[in-house]
Structure 1
């Protein structure tokens, strides 16, 4: 049975997969450290994740960056890439 809107598959994945629950608009924050801390908090408190908290958090961040693709401005992409470094720091994986 085809879905109603095939262009919204990523929203479907976030809602129905074993992905962790995220704070609304977490990826719209301006501070990379705040994004990383929010992802860490969500990953550590999630009952739905299958991987380690670090891997789950990094996967969600990478998933968002990849899905946004060319719609991300250079400034926004730079902040999200900086959030990856901040996430590594938060999990002491420098």
Structure 2
């Protein structure tokens, strides 16, 4: 696997997070799930993906939450405040869908 460096051209760099998502026991996500405007829809889509997945190793809740957290961590400072807030709300919605307590 080739490491991406700041001095290399963008076309030659491997995006390791995409490879991890594609080749690992990650979930098969709905295209554009993290771009949805409604946090409830994001959570529902992640829940459906986690429950339908035959590749996941953890329980559906943990798999869905891990994928959301992975995306947020990889996007880092590229996320606008509004996007980060929407995804944080999606985490709360996911907790609610699985009957878990919301974080304060």
> Do residues 5 (structure 1) and 13 (structure 2) align?
yes
> Residue deviations 1:57-86, cap 9 Å, x none?
000000000000000000000000000000
- In structure 2, the residue matched to 1:51 is 58
Higher helix content, 1 or 2: 1
Matches within 5 A, 1:1-94: 2=2, 5-6=13-14, 8-94=15-101
Measured after TM superposition, the shift of residue 2 of structure 1 is 3.0
Measured after TM superposition, the shift of residue 5 of structure 1 is 2.0
Structure with more relative contact order (C-alpha pairs < 8 Å, separation 6 or more)? 1
Q: Distance in 1 between matches of 2:18 and 2:13?
A: 10
| TM-score using structure 1 length | 0.94
- Structure 1 stretches of 4+ with a deviation exceeding 4 A read none
Unaligned runs of 5+ in 2: 4-11
| TM-score using structure 2 length | 0.85
- Equivalences, count: 93
Unaligned runs of 5+ in 1: none
